Amino acid sequence: MIKPYKNIHFLENLHIPLWLVKDISWLMIWKPMGMMMIVPTVSVAIMLVIATRKIPHRLL
């Protein structure tokens, strides 16, 4: 399991390039790559939600 305060910033920073690669590949008509990038992007987003759900100041 992810330790909340340790990997949150790493996951946030990882999520940004994944999202950008997904969107750029989708816009440049590289549909298969854009569709493949959905899985890691959403996976990291779910990991972020799980890691930050118990940190009260992150909820607001």
Whole-prediction pTM value? Answer: 0.74
Which tens digits make up the pLDDT trace of 17-57? 999 999 999 888 888 888 899 999 999 999 888 888 877 77
Q: Residue 28 belongs to what domain range?
A: 4-53
Cβ contact 8:51 at 8 Å: yes
Q: Which residue has the higher pLDDT, 7 or 41?
A: 41
Cβ contact 41:22 at 8 Å: yes
Q: Which residue has the higher pLDDT, 4 or 53?
A: 53
Residue 60 lies in a domain: no
Residue 58 lies in a domain: no
Residue 33 lies in a domain: yes
Residue 41 lies in a domain: yes
pLDDT of residue 50: 85
Residue 59 lies in a domain: no
> How far is Cα 57 from Cα 60, in angstroms, rounded to an integer?
6
Per the structure, the count of domains in the chain is 1
